[in-house]
Chain A
Amino acid sequence: DIQMTQSPSSVSASVGDRVTITCRASQGISSWLAWYQQKPGKAPKLLIYAASGLQSGVPSRFSGSGSGTDFTLTISSLQPEDFATYYCQQANSFPRTFGQGTKVEIK
């Protein structure tokens, strides 16, 4: 299985801050990576696909980059509705695997 490791596990930030979350794959996955946002009690929501593709309806303050083994999710200016947990997911091979999550908390 491909292991996905996110860092940090949690981050405290203020509204307006730039936030960067990283995800590392245990082997190369090209651009087969997605990012999801999950709010408490809700299902995850697809934000970014193919490492840098912005899902329809997702604000442009979210962006993704990377390829191979190292990826980043950036929120350019944190908004109140962005406080949530974020997961990366690889789609290079089965079984599909997720990172352990990064919780973005209010500072």
Chain B
Amino acid sequence: QVQLQESGPGLVKPSETLSLTCTVSGGSISSYYWNWIRQPPGKGLEWIGNIYNSGSTDYNPSLKSRVTISVDTSKNQFSLKLSSVTAADTAVYYCASSRGVWFDPWGQGTLVTVSS
């Protein structure tokens, strides 16, 4: 079955750009939607956005001005870039697949801390 694994720096300085990659195994990225979701420590879940294999994207309006999600079908990966980060962007970042609406499966998550 499809498995997802996030990778990227665990520490990012304020005002810099957070960059994460999600590698998809056990299936092709050329199907379904691919999502980023985050969870600040001890808090709830926030959907960041998604991308379809065609490259079409949907973003959360609360983050839209700072977010870019892209896909690399040759590597079976999709990526997240979040610019101008602050301490409020410290969170566990998850990638997840969806057949349009339901998030399943999820990656294990990666903690990104914004600090100087």
Contacts and interface: CB of A to CB of B under 8 A. Distances in A.
Given A43-B109, A94-B58, A95-B61, A87 B45 contact: yes
Interface residues of B, number: 21
A34 B103 contact: yes
Contacts of A49: 101-102
Contact of A36 (B62, B100, B101, B103): B103
B103 A95 contact: no
Interface string B85-115: 0000000001010001111111111000000
Contacts of A89: 45, 103
A46 B98 CA distance: 11
Contact of A34 (B102, B105, B106): B102
B16 interface: no
Nearest to A47: B104
Given A34-B102, A94-B60, A95-B47, 6 more contacts: A1-B61, A43-B106, A45-B104, A98-B46, A100-B44, A101-B44
